[in-house]
Amino acid sequence: MLPLPKKYFLTAASCEGETELTAFDRALLEAGVGNTNLLRVSSILPPGCEYEPGLIIPPGSLLPIAYGTITSCEPGARIAAAVAVGIKKDSFGVIMEYEGYCSKAEAEEMVVKMCREAFRVRGLELDEIKIAATEHLVEKIGCAFAAVPLWY
């Protein structure tokens, strides 16, 4: 059984690259998680998990992370990615991710809407929402990435 993460932060970044993979890699580096091994998780923030902005993850770590990402090779396209964490004090939280051909504001609006719905269907009271988002105007090959890394 894996231990429950105790800490989390939100991050978002966007970059260009010479290939789709290197654009994604550069966005990860800008977001502060590029030297880790991402273990994509779904959307529940463990109970008692504490927000710790600026948390440094050791290189090579296996990193549980919920994220949204989009890569485009269409010059002039506007792409965005966003994450939101819905928080209920003294309970677990919900993480929502979104990516698309849209603005940062549209992506933020979507993750907030999804957080509110997730709490409503669970019958939980929503105390707080934290958001991270980015948008990118593609020059050649661009990537937008937003994430909630979870740590021990």
Active site residue 37: yes
How far apart are the C-alpha atoms of 109 and 127, rounded to whole Å? 17
Residue 113: the pLDDT is 98
Is residue 1 in some structural domain?
no
Give the position of tokens 């502060």.
Answer: 32
Is residue 146 in some structural domain?
yes
How far apart are the C-alpha atoms of 14 and 79, rounded to whole Å? 9
Pairing state between β 7-8 and 50-51: parallel
Active site residue 97: yes
**Type of residue found at 149:** P
SS3 of residue 99 by DSSP = strand
What is the number of structural domains in the chain? Answer: 1
Residue 28: the pLDDT is 98
Considering 72, 97, 99, 135, which one is annotated as catalytic? 97
From first to last of the 152 residues of the chain, give the pLDDT tens digit.
788 999 999 999 999 999 999 999 999 999 999 999 999 999 999 999 999 999 999 999 999 999 999 999 999 999 999 999 999 988 999 999 999 999 999 999 999 999 999 999 999 999 999 999 999 999 999 999 999 999 99
**Domain hosting residue 139, numbered range:** 7-151
Is residue 2 in some structural domain?
no
Is residue 88 in some structural domain?
yes
The domain spanning residue 65 has which CATH number?
Answer: 3.50.20.10
56 burial type by CB count under 10 A (0-12 exposed, 13-18 middle, 19+ buried) = exposed
Considering 14, 18, 20, 37, which one is annotated as catalytic? 37
